[in-house]
């Protein structure tokens, strides 16, 4: 299933099973059957329908969303080898830690809110009739060192725009990882019909603003005194990238 495709269901049982798995990120098949309170035959029919439509996948009895957001890429720069790939449920703790690491040092408020949302929902990927989000991660020796996140509204009037966040933990910067993550997220958005991306950054985050500008982003607006950082009121710089 593509992340921009709004899921539809032929039966209420299929909707119930999908919603349970989607809300939990992953779910053991037997636990999903118990939690949904469906009889075995109804549950199996609903699950088979979701598997056949490509909405869910079953990995040895563990159910998860079957979103197709691309392949695994290996990169090397300055002697550092790293992988960029779609995030998986097992990346949850490393992903939250990386986002918190970056947002704490650079007052990246939007990214900080993404980390809090992940913790609240306890799931990496979401895809329902209201919201959809995907993550790409950069890993070094299987450790998450960076991310690119796309928040994809499902409302028709907003479905051609998305919010993007990107970051790399300090110890792994200056190897092109951030640029490759940004490129991966932007290429995915372009390929899937999005026409505009947004990212909001506090005005005091000069490195972040310079990074975005270097990748073709422009300032679309400023909200004065939007953030409170410590005892200081800080402007929000609303950046945007429009695909040709």
- Per-residue pLDDT tens digits for 99-126: 998 887 657 778 888 889 888 888 898 8
Cβ–Cβ under 8 Å, residues 35 and 20: yes
DSSP string, 82-108: EEEEE--GGGHHHHHHHHHHHHHHHT-
Residue 205 has pLDDT above 90, yes or no: no
Higher pLDDT, 48 or 89: 48
The torsion angles phi and psi of 113, rounded to 5 degrees, stand at -70, -30
Task: Enter the tokens of residue 25.
Answer: 């990120």
Angle at 54 between CA 47 and CA 88, to 5 degrees: 95
Residue 147's alpha-carbon distances to 9, 86, 165, 179, 213, in angstroms, are 32, 10, 8, 11, 19
Taking only Cα atoms into account, the Rg of the chain, rounded to an integer number of angstroms, comes to 19
Higher pLDDT, 144 or 128: 144
pLDDT of 1 reads 67
Cβ–Cβ under 8 Å, residues 131 and 82: no
Bridge partners, 59 (sequence order)? 62
Task: Enter the tokens of residue 137.
Answer: 């991660």
Provide the percentage of residues in the chain whose pLDDT is more than 70.
97
**Averaged pLDDT, 122-138:** 88
Higher pLDDT, 4 or 83: 83
Total residue length of the chain: 244
Instruction: Compute the distance between CA of residue 85 and CA of residue 71 in angstroms, rounded to an integer.
Output: 6
Bridge partners, 208 (sequence order)? none
């Amino acid at each position: 299933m593509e992340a921009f495709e709004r899921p539809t269901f032929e039966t209420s049982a299929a909707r119930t099973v999908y919603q349970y798995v989607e809300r939990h990120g992953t779910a053991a098949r037997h636990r999903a059957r118990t939690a949904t309170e469906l009889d075995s035959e109804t549950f199996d029919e609903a699950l088979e329908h979701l598997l056949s439509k490509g909405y869910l996948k079953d990995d040895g009895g563990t159910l998860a969303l079957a979103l197709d957001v691309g392949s695994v890429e290996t990169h090397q720069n300055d002697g550092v080898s790293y992988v960029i790939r779609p995030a998986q449920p097992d990346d949850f703790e490393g992903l939250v830690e990386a986002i918190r690491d970056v947002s704490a040092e650079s007052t990246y408020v939007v990214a900080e809110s993404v980390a809090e949302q992940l913790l609240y929902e306890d799931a990496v990927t979401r895809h329902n009739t209201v919201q959809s989000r995907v993550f790409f991660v950069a890993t070094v020796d299987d450790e998450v060192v960076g991310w690119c996140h796309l928040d994809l509204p499902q409302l028709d009037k907003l479905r051609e725009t998305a919010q993007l966040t990107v970051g790399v933990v300090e110890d792994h910067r200056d190897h092109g990882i951030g640029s490759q993550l940004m490129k991966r997220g932007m290429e995915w958005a372009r390929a899937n019909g999005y026409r505009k991306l947004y990212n909001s950054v506090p005005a005091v985050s000069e490195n972040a603003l310079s990074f975005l500008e270097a990748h073709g982003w422009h300032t679309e607006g400023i909200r004065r005194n939007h953030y409170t950082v410590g005892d200081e009121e800080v402007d929000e710089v609303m950046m945007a990238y429009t695909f040709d």
